[in-house]
Amino acid sequence: MIKTDVLILGGGLAGLSAAYHLNKISKFSSLIVEKESRPGGTASSISKNGFTFDFTGHLLHLHDPYGKAFIEDLLKGNLRELKRSSWIYSHEVLTRYPFQANTYGLPDAVIDECLFGFLKTIHASRENQKKTSPLSFKDWALKNFGEGICKHFLFPYNEKLWQRSLDSMTTEWQGRFVPAPKVSEVLYGAVMDQKKAFGYNASFLYPRKGGIQSLPNALASRLKKNQLAVQSEVLSIDLKTNQALIKNLGIVSFKRLINTIPLNEFISLLKEIPTRVERAASELSSNSVYCLNLGVSGKVMSGKHWIYFPEKKYPFYRVGFYHQFSPFNAPAKSSSLYVEFSRNSKSKVDLSELESLALKGLKDCKILGPENRALVKEWLPISCGYVIYDFKRTKALNVIFPYLAKKKVESIGRYGAWKYSFMEEAIMDGKRCAEKLALC
Ligand SMILES: Cc1cc2nc3c(=O)[nH]c(=O)nc-3n(C[C@H](O)[C@H](O)[C@H](O)COP(=O)(O)OP(=O)(O)OC[C@H]3O[C@@H](n4cnc5c(N)ncnc54)[C@H](O)[C@@H]3O)c2cc1C
């Protein structure tokens, strides 16, 4: 039987970071078990015929001083800094992101609706300062942006992304993800091409070579020999005996457990759990993201990084261009694209049908022309893509986390902590978790 002080479930960035920092600051041994044949989780890449594809564009937004210095050190000499160029395509026009501050260029009637609705919200908020919480995302968006901006962007785009009715969702996730421009900026952006950068990701870093996979690879290369076991899926966990059954390894016994796999899946692997915890886990929901990666001949969408598609006639919610993140992501005279679809995680999906819809949509909006031949097509599905912030989530987490704390289990990362977060945060989660365990 294999024995380790700390067993880490999942070799994504959170798990890798936890192991690295445990090595650095504690005497504990640790072992990461990862079901795939490579580390990285959603921050992975694959290479095919000279194209490098991520699981949709994975761009580094670094805000924490430690996280920034650590990631820059991991990718020393292999980083490019880029100024975001992101757009929205609607009414057959490209407008700058974010929609609410950049309606310039849309048909006059659309601009009028957006401005009129927005100005009404200012008047309404002066009339009534009372808080009516908790607001659904739908009510919050209407209250803050007005009917026009909601009708032309916030509602259709978010319904496409989340695959949920927006009145069942809370506002807990939106803080940094939905920019809130000033009144003057909304007005200015309706009459002028406003070039001001808004939001958390106005500039970003991306690896020069190797796609985002170079980040988990660099982190994994700093671990001890045999500390990461790939092709080792966790099959079941017994928290009474502190033993886990792992594919290809057998029984692994541990003193402490760190989980980074999706929280609801993790709970389903535990033996003998209280019914209330099982029930709470069944209340957690997520969407699934289906990423169609395309390598095509010729150069497309020069200078643009990604485009949002709110309109129903386009089946995808976003299309991005890896070759604009780094020229090494595609062979010369060719382009590489990611096309993102979202579905309810319980829906059955026919990928060949989605592929036809994707190719038609890309031609309709003129991203692809007759000169662009598809050279490579690669689907990368993400079964647990975005955690849904509905009104059941917090209640369920308030049952699950105290139970796990009693059992001395740490559950971290984007899916272990069941949240909307980024790569840098996954790395910081791993660090904080190691610091906590080092004190035990
Ligand atoms: C569509 C999309 C776009 C994104 N874009 C960005 C971006 O541009 N910038 C950014 O910073 N972040 C982005 N993110 C977020 C980023 O991918 C995550 O925050 C981060 O990579 C999460 O790391 P993690 O270790 O917490 O989870 P994961 O990467 O999911 O790691 C968990 C690991 O557990 C493994 N696993 C699962 N089940 C088992 C099992 N039973 N046994 C063993 N192993 C198992 C998985 O294979 C995986 O490797 C995006 C995410 C998505 C879904």
What tens-digit pLDDT sequence spans the chain (440 residues)? 999 999 999 999 999 999 999 999 999 999 999 999 999 999 999 999 999 999 999 999 999 999 999 999 999 999 999 999 999 999 999 999 999 999 999 999 999 999 999 999 987 765 555 555 689 999 999 999 999 999 999 999 999 999 999 999 999 887 777 778 888 899 889 888 888 887 767 899 999 999 999 999 999 999 999 999 999 999 999 999 999 999 999 999 999 999 999 999 999 999 999 999 999 999 999 999 999 999 999 999 999 999 999 999 999 999 999 999 999 999 999 999 999 999 999 999 999 999 999 999 999 999 999 999 999 999 999 999 999 999 999 999 999 999 999 999 999 999 999 999 999 999 999 999 999 999 98
pLDDT of residue 132: 58
The SS3 of residue 194 is coil
Reduce the DSSP state of residue 190 to 3 states and report it.
helix
d(Cα 176, Cα 195) in Å, to the nearest integer?
20
Instruction: Compute the distance between CA of residue 352 and CA of residue 201 in angstroms, rounded to an integer.
Output: 33
Ligand 1 atom closest to residue 289's alpha carbon, by position in its atom list: 1
Which residue, judged by its Cα, is nearest atom 4 of ligand 1? Answer: 58
Residues with a CB atom less than 6 Å from ligand 1: 9-15, 33-36, 41-43, 56-59, 61, 233-234, 260-261, 289, 382, 385, 413-415, 421-423, 426
* Confidence (pLDDT) at 274: 97
Q: How far is CA 96 from CA 84, 93, 193, 307, 411, in A?
A: 11, 10, 8, 9, 38
Integer angstrom CA distances of residue 193 from 136, 180, 196 = 32, 18, 9
Residue 40 CA, closest ligand 1 atom number? 49
Indicate the Cα dihedral angle 220, 226, 229, 230, nearest 10°. Answer: 60
Crossing angle of the two packed helices 13-25 and 423-438, in degrees rounded to 10: 30
d(CA 379, CA 353): 12
Which residue type sits at 343?
A: R
Q: What is the DSSP letter of 107?
A: -
Peptide bond into 207 cis (omega under 30): no
Ligand 1 atom nearest the C-alpha of 413 is 26
Residue 26 Cα distances to 20, 73, 269, angstroms: 10, 21, 28
Ligand 1 center from residue 363 Cα (angstroms): 31
Give all strands (DSSP E) within 298-373, no chain letters.
306-308, 318-321, 334-344
CA atoms within 13 A on the CB side of 182: 5
Closest CA to 189 of 316, 99, 310, 315: 99
**Phi, psi (rounded to 5 degrees) for 86:** -120, 145
Rounded to whole angstroms, what are the CA distances from 326 to 209, 340, 398, 422? 7, 20, 42, 20
Residue 384 Cα: closest atom of ligand 1: 53
Pairing assessment for the beta strands 93-96 and 287-297 based on DSSP bridges: unpaired
Q: Name the closest-CA residue to atom 36, ligand 1.
A: 10
CA 426–ligand 1 middle distance (angstroms): 8
Closest among 145, 161, 56, 42 to 99, alpha carbons compared: 145
Residue 96 CA to residue 104 CA, distance in Å, equals 9
pTM of the model: 0.95
- Say if residue 65 is exposed, middle or buried (CB neighbours under 10 Å; 0-12, 13-18, 19+): exposed
Question: Could you give the CA distance from residue 281 to residue 263 in angstroms, rounded to a whole number?
Answer: 7
**Residue with CA closest to ligand 1 atom 14:** 422
Give, for ligand 1, the residue of 214, 422, 433 to mutate: max count of ligand atoms closer than 8 Å to Cβ: 422
The number of the ligand 1 atom at minimal distance from the alpha carbon of 16 is 25
pLDDT for 408 equals: 96
Atom of ligand 1 nearest to the CA of 247: 42
Query: Which of 261, 418, 420 is the pocket-test mutation for ligand 1 (most atoms within 8 Å of CB)?
Result: 261
Longest Cα pair distance anywhere in the chain, in angstroms?
Answer: 71
- Which of 414, 415, 419, 433 is the pocket-test mutation for ligand 1 (most atoms within 8 Å of CB)? 414
